[in-house]
């Protein structure tokens, strides 16, 4: 993309414009991808001014998306626009985006084009504004990872009223009008973590530190319930020490874990319920305290967790096929619109227990 240019002196908006980008796409195609009017896109591409910088950025993001999805743009037939809305750290959002884009050329009989709305812990009103904007502009479907907030549930209701199906991803909104959930069976994952840690720790293995986010995501709630119930059944005397990190920042988590270790000399293992990130900070906190972590179970094979697994810092990672989740989400959307036979339903991914010796091939290729 070309470098930004100074704003037009005659532009009352005072916004910065961007040099024109060469591309093969008609204005109407870019407008649909960006969710903007053709007139606005034409104004941006021809640098006529009077357009907010955020809108200019949207147009150039749409062109970049079209470049990545160019095989889909060339296809003819029924085209579905799918909006991916994800509230997650950048490393997990990037994994979701890559997983969806890997599946777009494979999904048939419809052609899918994706629009991305990715943010790390946005204020709930901002997330709701994004969903309401999709409802106004139109879409064939929304794949949503969001906190279980009444405001988000109400926004899903408005999408449903507008005829736009919502599929929740990896964390559910069970009281909403979403048409299906796709992703990990979170209760089963929590129970699996409890089973593995019990096998490694044995009867006198000490307490387990359970780290998680703020509790606004239903998926983490389900993991915690599965973990706690299984520990109570298998080892009633095992203590669970809960640590909630509301910031998502590694330095903060490192301090919180260090404080927990100082306060409780019995902590000997960790179950991290985070969707992505934070585990390097937890490992560092054990080193700071001069303590040994006898067993550590985490979720998702992002780059950080893969490195920790290979280094022997993680005992196991609970993984699932994110690409399959996204493909199933596309199938649900097609079923809602009658482009694929069958009744839309939820799909739970199986829990894969990954050690340094059975890392999935697709993860190795990506690393």
pLDDT in tens, 188-222: 999 999 999 999 999 888 999 999 987 788 999 99
> What letter would DSSP give residue 106?
G
Whether residue 150 has pLDDT greater than 90: yes
Query: Which structure tokens are listed for 305?
Result: 């967790």
Residue ending a domain, among 68, 94, 116, is 68
Mean pLDDT of 96-104: 92
| Same-domain check for residues 211 and 359 | yes
Query: Which structure tokens are listed for 140?
Result: 């064939």
**CATH number for position 295:** 3.40.50.2300
| Same-domain check for residues 218 and 358 | yes
Q: Which helix (H) or strand (E) holds 184?
A: strand 180-184
Q: Which of 303, 321, 324, 272 is nearest to 91 (CA)?
A: 303
SS3 16: coil
Q: What is the pLDDT of residue 265?
A: 96
The answer to whether residue 254 sits within a structural domain is yes
End-to-end CA distance of the chain: 26
pLDDT in tens, 317-339: 999 999 999 999 999 999 999 98
Residue 245's Cβ-count burial label (10 Å; 0-12, 13-18, 19+) is buried
Task: Name residue, tokens 């599929």.
Answer: 167
Find residue 81's DSSP bridge partners: 113
| Same-domain check for residues 52 and 196 | no
Domain containing 303: what range?
186-320+354-366
The answer to whether residue 152 sits within a structural domain is no
Q: What is the pTM of this model?
A: 0.77
Mean pLDDT of 107-128: 91
**CATH number for position 19:** 1.10.260
pLDDT in tens, 14-57: 344 444 555 667 787 777 777 778 788 778 887 777 778 878 88
The answer to whether residue 26 sits within a structural domain is yes
pLDDT in tens, 264-273: 999 999 999 9
Whether residue 185 has pLDDT greater than 80: yes
Mean pLDDT of 68-84: 68
Q: What is the pLDDT of residue 314?
A: 97
Residue predicted with more confidence, 75 or 166 = 166
Q: Which helix (H) or strand (E) holds 117?
A: strand 111-119
What gap in Å lies between CA 92 and CA 269, rounded to an integer?
24
Mean pLDDT score of the chain: 86
Residue 199 phi/psi, 5-degree rounding, is: -65, -40
The answer to whether residue 280 sits within a structural domain is yes
Residue ending a domain, among 42, 68, 94, is 68
C-beta of residue 14 within 8 angstroms of C-beta of residue 7? yes
The answer to whether residue 159 sits within a structural domain is no
Residue ending a domain, among 25, 42, 68, is 68
Q: What is the pLDDT of residue 1?
A: 35
Domain count, the chain: 2
| Same-domain check for residues 192 and 63 | no
| Same-domain check for residues 62 and 190 | no
Categorize the per-residue pLDDT at 10 as very low, low, confident or very high, splitting at 50, 70 and 90.
Answer: very low
The answer to whether residue 21 sits within a structural domain is yes
């Amino acid at each position: 993309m070309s470098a930004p240019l100074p704003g037009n002196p005659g532009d009352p908006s005072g916004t910065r414009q961007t040099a024109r980008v060469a591309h093969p796409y008609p204005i109407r195609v870019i407008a649909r991808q960006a969710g903007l009017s053709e007139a606005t896109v034409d104004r941006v591409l021809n640098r006529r001014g009077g357009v907010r910088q955020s809108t200019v950025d949207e147009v150039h993001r749409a062109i970049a998306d079209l470049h990545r999805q160019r095989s889909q743009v060339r296809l003819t037939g029924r085209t579905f626009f799918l909006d991916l809305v994800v509230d997650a750290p950048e490393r997990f959002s990037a994994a979701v985006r890559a997983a969806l884009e890997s599946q777009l050329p494979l999904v048939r009989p419809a052609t899918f084009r994706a629009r991305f709305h990715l943010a790390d812990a946005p204020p709930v009103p901002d997330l709701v504004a994004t969903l309401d904007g999709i409802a106004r502009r139109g879409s064939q479907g929304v794949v949503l990872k969001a906190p279980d907030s009444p405001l988000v549930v109400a926004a899903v209701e408005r999408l449903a009223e507008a005829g736009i199906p919502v599929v929740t991803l990896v964390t559910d909104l069970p009281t909403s009008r979403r048409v299906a959930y796709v992703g990990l069976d979170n209760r089963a994952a929590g129970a699996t973590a409890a089973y593995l840690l019990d096998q490694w720790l044995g009867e006198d293995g000490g307490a387990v530190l359970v780290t998680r986010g703020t509790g606004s995501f239903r998926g983490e709630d389900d993991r915690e319930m599965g973990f706690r119930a299984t520990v109570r059944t298998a080892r009633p005397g095992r203590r669970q020490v809960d640590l909630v990190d509301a910031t998502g920042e590694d330095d903060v988590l490192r301090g919180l874990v260090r404080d927990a270790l100082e306060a409780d000399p019995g902590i000997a293992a960790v179950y991290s319920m985070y969707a992505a990130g934070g585990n390097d900070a937890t490992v560092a906190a054990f080193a700071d305290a001069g303590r040994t972590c006898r067993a550590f179970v985490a979720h998702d094979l992002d780059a950080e967790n893969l490195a920790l697994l290979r280094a022997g810092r993680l005992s196991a990672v609970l993984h699932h096929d994110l690409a399959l989740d996204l493909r199933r989400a596309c199938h649900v959307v097609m079923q809602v619109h009658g482009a694929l036979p069958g009744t839309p339903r939820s799909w739970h991914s199986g829990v894969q227990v990954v050690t340094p010796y059975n890392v999935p091939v697709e993860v190795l290729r990506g690393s």
